[in-house]
Structure formats: structure tokens, C-alpha cells
Structure 1
Amino acid sequence: MRLLHLHERLSARGGAERHLISLLKHQQGAHQTLLAVGFDDGSLPVAEQELIGPWLRVKGLARRGLRKRGEAAACRGLAAVIAEFRPDLIHLHNLMDPALLELAASSAPTVMTVQDHRMFCPGRGKLTPDDRLCSAPLGRACLACFEQPDYGRRMLALTRRRLDALRGMGRILVLSRYMARELTLAGVEPERVRVLPPPVDLPPALPGAPRRHHLLAGRLVGRKGVGQALEATKMFRHGAPLRIAGDGPLAGELARAAMLSQGRLSFDGWADRARMNQLLAGALSLWLPSLWAEPWGIVGLEALARGVPVVGTAVGGVPEWLLDGEHGFLVPPGDPAALARAADRLAAQPEEARRMGRAGRAWVAENLRREDLMRRLGEIYREAGELPTA
């Protein structure tokens, strides 16, 4: 099968990007693949690029849909790639311009992986302006998230068009039952939606190295609960500090806070895969303190695969894999004291932490086997290929 994958960027920095890279690595030899991206941020090592098959940059793929130039110019590059490669199926990932979505759906059978909320939320990822989880359906209530009414109306119209384009896809993949429910509430036909979590590789069991810190890793933005994590470190009663690895708008604030924390906090900056493995090897727990509804929380599964228990908020798809008291602890979003209590408990009871880590690793091994999930993806491709092209 000739598979054309479409994505905003080539990168090693985000969960969606790691998911796509893993998928491409394991499709080599089974399919003829081509990855088209809008830009390359330079973070994916050359050695890893060589494992994902051919890829190319296509002008326009990183557009979100609000543009000054016409749609014909935005679509010209993708149309040329489709005409030259002649795919049997197009697999779309993070692609947000509805004109590009419509072009793909009209050109070949299509499957789209919906990684986040942008297909049905014009604002802050189902998070209200005062950082509460939003349960309102797509509609005029969404305008309350925007200070400029005209911009809010444009974003609402854009999101509705994205959703209409999504309804034209042969199959829609989501990582969690939570995302499947959200799409159904937004009006997507449930028979088009398939829940397919990303496979997680199970590395060799870590040796019994000392575990001396908690770890928070990812995009350093407010909705990820970074502020609540900082507050939690001030409440620690046990000596294990929090280490933070990542980049984003809050990086400077975290670096300054680490200098003043008296050893409760350290800031490592962005960590590549090798460095992340080192940080996880010494971690008592992995923190996922998100305020927004995480669609899945891939970094938490990568921690469990390495036998590291997770302390995460009970939002979005996280409770589907983080079983409270078994793989770690679920805490309410926006509750620094609960974060601190859970972390202190794991630090004070290392045998319980090891037990939870083993249980989490066993759950990953049973439920996220690559062979099973790749076989299921192949079945979904075949389902989409049997549908008539629009």
C-alpha cells in the first residue's frame, strides 16, 4: 500500500510527533510511505530520520486556516504531492487547515488521527478562561474565551469548517474513549470513529538504581499544570525534589524558581530521548498535573513502561490508563496539596512505589502491544480503503 502521511512538522519534541515517528518506523518494509510536513524544527536526529522512510517539506502544511492569501495557493503544494505520489490512502495527523483536509478527503481514501481538541474547540483546549474544564458544546458559548469578539467569531467559524471536513474522512482515529465521546458530542458519526491508543515500546527492566527525584516533562505552559507543580514543591515533607525537563513559555520562570527553591526544584531544560531515559531511571514518579483534558498523556505511558509510577490529574483520557492506587495516584486538577501528598507518599514508601511501577509496566505490556495495535491499524486502513472516495 502507498501511504501518504501528512503532518504540520518534523520534530522529536511532542507526543503527537513521537507517535507519528514510531508509526513510520514500523511501517517501513510493510508499506511504501511518504511523509509530507510543513516544516522541520531540527530536533529529530539524522540517524532517526533515516528510519522513518522518505519525507519532504511542503509549503502550506503548517497553516491553521486563517490566511491572507487565497486557498488555491495554500493547496497547490499538497495537490502536487498527491498527484505525483498517487497514494492508495492518506493518513492525516496534525493538519489544521480545512482547505487541506478537504483536498485530502477528495483525493484518496483517508484516515485522520485527531490528537487534540482543535477539531471541535476554537479556544483553549476545552479549558475555560479561569482554567476550569469546559463541558460546553461547540457553539456561541465558545465566544466567551476570546477578548476580541471578531477574532472569536472567525475561530468559531474555522473550527466548524474543520469539523465538517473531518466528517468527510473515511475513518477517524483517537487515542482514548474520552476523545471518542467528545467527537460524538460534536456531531461526528460514531461509526466513523475508532479508538486506537499509540503503541508503547517496553524497554528492558531498569536496574535497581537509586530513585531520588520526581519528574515533570513536557511542554512548559500553564494548562499543563506547571504552576501547580511549583506550588506543590513548597509543600514537600519528604526530601525528594522535583526535576522539570522541557521547553516552552514558562522555561525562564522555572529556571529562576529553581535557583530560589533551596533544593526542592531543579530545571533541566529540554531533554532528548537519551536524557529522558536517564531522568526516568532515577525517578520516584512522573508527574502529569494537567489542568486541561489530556487526550491521552503519552509521556505517562512511557514512564509506566519503565516501571515509574505516575501522579496525574483525573482529566480527559488519563483515568483510562492511570488506575488510582495501582499505577500511581490520580489527583484533582489544580490541587497542589494533593500533588505534594501523593509524591511524599511514594518517596516515603519506596516499596509501594516499586509495586505500582511493576503493575503499570505489566498493564502497558498487556494493553499497548505494538503487534496488536499495528494489526488493528491495518484493519482500519482496509476499512477506509473500501469506502468510496468523495
Structure 2
Amino acid sequence: MRILVANHHRQRAGGTEAYLDGLLPALDARGVGIAFLHEAPPGENAIGLPPGAPSLCVARMGLPEAIAAARRFAPDLVFHNGVSDPRTLAALASLAPLVHFAHNYYGTCVSGEKLRKWPAPVPCERRFGAACLLAYLPERCGGLSPVTMLRQYRIESARLDLLGRAAAIVANSTYIRGEYVRHGFPPDRVFTANLFVAPGPEPAPAPDLSPACRLLYTGRMVSPKGGAMLLDALEPVARRLDRPVEVTFAGDGPERAGWRKRAAAIRDTRVTVRFEPWVSPAGLRRLAASHHVLVMPSLWPEPFGLVGLELGAIGLPTAAFASGGIPDWLTDGENGHLAPNDPPRPEALAEAVARCFQSEPHYRRLREGAAARAREFNADAHLDRLLPVFHSVVSQ
């Protein structure tokens, strides 16, 4: 089988590219021929390709020549992971049967966040359409620019229309699959193949549970990620546990200064908050090894939340809101604890965090469960769900 993989970036820019960086060698090992079409220049930190795999850059070649080269590759199918320009998507759909891998809310949300932020943050289950234009500004779905709203609406509308030509959609979580089914895609053409984590080092030894409980937040510092909610939950955590609480925020983003200011306003002297910059994956694992629990306070419905499995692989349990795709891998009481998100509240998050520390035997069971759950989400399990979809599409 010959597959044309398509994405906006080839440079490792985020979760989609990390997925492709792990997937391509796994496909190559299964005997799949690969070419990679990308819109943006590859940059210095490019996704590795199997030996001999063509790299077709739209920015350098122009769309007509890149598509012509892709046609010469003669793919059996196009594996689309998210190009930016609808014209690129339309051209790809003309080459071969197209399978779209849904990493996020591509074509189903103006802002891409599926979050109504006013008067309180609530995940949005509205079906994408003209009604979104009426809600976008009053509900603070995105920014406050009507020009941006209209531009993004046109782009997402075009994407959704073009996805109607896809032979199949494969979602990274049960929640994302449901999103596309709600948008009218036939259920027998929409599949789920959860993301995976690469094999890593053995779980780190558990850090001492006393005297302080140490919590970790990692990721973009933007409002939908819920850092402010976590900060508001820290004093309730300290009261429930009656012990010091130390929290590390690792990452960067536009909310960093605001979150630092909010942290400085915490009055309970048992709570300590520190901010660290972005760290490499290896650096993050080292940082996580000195913490007890990863907290994912996301207000938006996370499509999957892979970092929970990545750090679970070294034995770190997770406390999170039960939103989006997180419940696909986080089972309450097995590898962490879930908080209800209807709506998300600091007290509910604090309760989920505190339950992780209810006893030392319970905490150690959560660590064992986190490592075991991460082992279940491996590349072979992913391909065992993905490749049958490919074979079915090609055989039609």
C-alpha cells in the first residue's frame, strides 16, 4: 500500500506532528510506502521520513507542482492530518480516496476550541453552522473581531464541505468521533483510533508523599487550558489535605503573567506556586519524576490529552476534568481521578486532586495503574485499528 500523508507542517510544531513522527516509522515497518506533502517549509526540526520517502513542500514547489508530484507517486489513499488551505484539501481529495485523521475540531468550530466562555466556560455541543455567527461574540467563543470570525467561519465551512468527500474519518477519541457523527457523517464511516505513546524508561520511583503534595501543570498557558481554575483550586486542596501544596507550571503562553499574578494573590501559606519555562520531552519526564500528580484543568473539551499518557508511562497519575477525550484513557480510581465538568468548578477539581492522596496505598495503586494504562496505548494497538480502515477504503 502506498499512502500520501498530508499535513500543514512537517516541522515538529505540536501534537499532530509528534503523532506523525511516531507513526511514519511504524507504518514503514509494516511495509507501507509513504510520501509526505506539507504546506509550510520543513524548518530545522523536521519530522523524520523513511528512506526514499518523497517530501513535497507546497510553499517551495507551489500547489500545482506538489500535487503533480503526488500524482506521480500514485498513492492508494491520502491520509490527511490537517492542511490549512481548503484549496490544498480539495486538490488532495482529487488524487485518491481520502482518510481524514481528526486530531481536533477541524471543520466543526469557528474558533477550534468548542468552548463557550461567557458567562462561564462550558464545552459547546452546538452543530457548526450559521447559528455560530450569532453566538460567537456574545458567548466569547473566540476573539472580539467580527472580521476574524467571518474569515474563520468561511474556512471552517469549506473544510467541513470538503470532508464530505472523505472515504472515512478516523478520530483520536470517542468524543471527537461523536463530534463528526453529530455533524451528519455516517457512523459507519467514522472510526476511533486512540493516540499512542512510544515505549520509554521504566516508571520512576515514587517520590516521598510527605510533607508536601507536589502537583504539575504542563502545556500552553492559554485560558481554555484552565490554569486559572487550577490556581483557584489550590487553597481548597490544602484545606482538604491539611498539608503543604507545591505546584509547578511548566510552559508558556499569553496567560502566563496573569496566572503569576493570580498565584501571588493566594493567601494560604501552605500553597507554593512556581513557574518554569518550556522544557524538552526528556526534561519534562525528569521534572515529572519529582511530582506526585499531573493536573489537567482544561475547560475546553480536550480532543485526547496525550500528555496524561506520556507522563503516566513514568508512573504519574492524573487529576482532570472529565471533558472531551480524556475519559478514553483516564479511569477514575485506576490511573487518577476525574472531576465533573458540568460546569467545571475549582471545588470539583480540588476534590479530584485530593482523592489521589487519600492514602499511600491508594496513591501507589494509581501510579501502577498509570504505567499500565500507558502500555495499553502503543503503536501496534493504534495500527491495529487504523490499518483495517485503510485496507477497507482501498478495497472499495
| TM interval, short-chain normalised | 0.7 to 0.9
From 342, 346, 350, the counterpart of 2:356: 346
With 8-17 and 95-104 compared, the bigger mean Cα shift is at: 8-17
Alignment partner, residue 310 of structure 1: 318
Structure 1 CA distance for aligned equivalents of residues 345 and 42 of structure 2:
35
**Retained in 2: the 8 A contact 1:24–1:53?**
no
- Kindly state the Cα deviation for residue 149 of structure 1 after the two structures are TM-superposed: 4.7
From 279, 287, 301, the counterpart of 1:271: 279
- Kindly state the Cα deviation for residue 88 of structure 1 after the two structures are TM-superposed: 2.7
Return closer, same or farther for 1:312/1:6 CA change in 2, 3 Å cut-off. same
Alignment partner, residue 76 of structure 1: 64
Aligned-residue RMSD, C-alpha: 2.9
Q: How does 1:40-59 map to 2 (within 5 A)?
A: 44=45, 49=48, 54=53, 56=55, 58-59=57-58
Tell me the secondary structure at the aligned position of residue 122 of structure 2: coil
Give deviations 1:83-102, integer Å, cap 9, x for gaps. 34332322111223222111
Alignment partner, residue 246 of structure 1: 251
Return closer, same or farther for 1:224/1:41 CA change in 2, 3 Å cut-off. farther
With 205-214 and 48-57 compared, the bigger mean Cα shift is at: 48-57
Q: How does 1:109-120 map to 2 (within 5 A)?
A: 109-120=97-108
Structure 1 CA distance for aligned equivalents of residues 62 and 228 of structure 2:
38
Q: How does 1:277-288 map to 2 (within 5 A)?
A: 277-288=285-296
Return closer, same or farther for 1:245/1:164 CA change in 2, 3 Å cut-off. same
- Kindly state the Cα deviation for residue 350 of structure 1 after the two structures are TM-superposed: 3.4
Alignment partner, residue 67 of structure 1: none
Tell me the secondary structure at the aligned position of residue 264 of structure 1: strand
Q: 2:379 is aligned with what amino acid? A: R
How many pairs were matched up? 373
Structure 1 CA distance for aligned equivalents of residues 349 and 166 of structure 2:
40
Return closer, same or farther for 1:320/1:107 CA change in 2, 3 Å cut-off. same
- Kindly state the Cα deviation for residue 354 of structure 1 after the two structures are TM-superposed: 1.6
Unaligned stretches of 5+ in structure 1? Answer: 62-72
Structure 1 CA distance for aligned equivalents of residues 251 and 52 of structure 2:
27
Alignment partner, residue 141 of structure 2: none
**Retained in 2: the 8 A contact 1:326–1:360?**
yes
**Retained in 2: the 8 A contact 1:327–1:359?**
yes
With 77-86 and 268-277 compared, the bigger mean Cα shift is at: 77-86
**Retained in 2: the 8 A contact 1:215–1:243?**
yes
Tell me the secondary structure at the aligned position of residue 155 of structure 1: helix
Give deviations 1:107-141, integer Å, cap 9, x for gaps. 11221111111311113521114122112212222
From 139, 152, 158, the counterpart of 1:155: 152
From 380, 384, 387, the counterpart of 2:393: 384
Return closer, same or farther for 1:124/1:163 CA change in 2, 3 Å cut-off. closer
Give deviations 1:335-373, integer Å, cap 9, x for gaps. 22332333344346333222112123323334x242232
Return closer, same or farther for 1:228/1:270 CA change in 2, 3 Å cut-off. same
Tell me the secondary structure at the aligned position of residue 39 of structure 1: coil
**Retained in 2: the 8 A contact 1:28–1:52?**
no
Structure 1 CA distance for aligned equivalents of residues 145 and 308 of structure 2:
36
**Retained in 2: the 8 A contact 1:89–1:108?**
yes
Alignment partner, residue 136 of structure 2: 145
From 325, 329, 347, the counterpart of 1:321: 329
- Kindly state the Cα deviation for residue 19 of structure 1 after the two structures are TM-superposed: 1.3
Give deviations 1:222-242, integer Å, cap 9, x for gaps. 101111122223444132311
Return closer, same or farther for 1:335/1:156 CA change in 2, 3 Å cut-off. same
Return closer, same or farther for 1:203/1:275 CA change in 2, 3 Å cut-off. same
Tell me the secondary structure at the aligned position of residue 115 of structure 2: coil
Tell me whether 1:36 sits opposite 2:37 in the alignment: yes
TM-score, normalised with respect to structure 2:
0.84
Q: 2:350 is aligned with what amino acid? A: A
Structure 2 CA distance for aligned equivalents of residues 347 and 240 of structure 1:
11
**Retained in 2: the 8 A contact 1:203–1:305?**
yes
Q: 2:224 is aligned with what amino acid? A: R
Q: 1:373 is aligned with what amino acid? A: H
Alignment partner, residue 222 of structure 1: 223
Q: How does 1:248-263 map to 2 (within 5 A)?
A: 248-254=253-259
Percent identity over the alignment? 29
Return closer, same or farther for 1:249/1:85 CA change in 2, 3 Å cut-off. farther
Q: 2:108 is aligned with what amino acid? A: F
Alignment partner, residue 93 of structure 1: 81
**Retained in 2: the 8 A contact 1:225–1:290?**
yes
TM-score, normalised with respect to structure 1:
0.85
Structure 2 CA distance for aligned equivalents of residues 347 and 52 of structure 1:
48
**Retained in 2: the 8 A contact 1:322–1:330?**
yes
Return closer, same or farther for 1:12/1:156 CA change in 2, 3 Å cut-off. closer
Alignment partner, residue 372 of structure 1: 381
Give deviations 1:248-302, integer Å, cap 9, x for gaps. 2223444566678776112221111111111222221111111111111111122
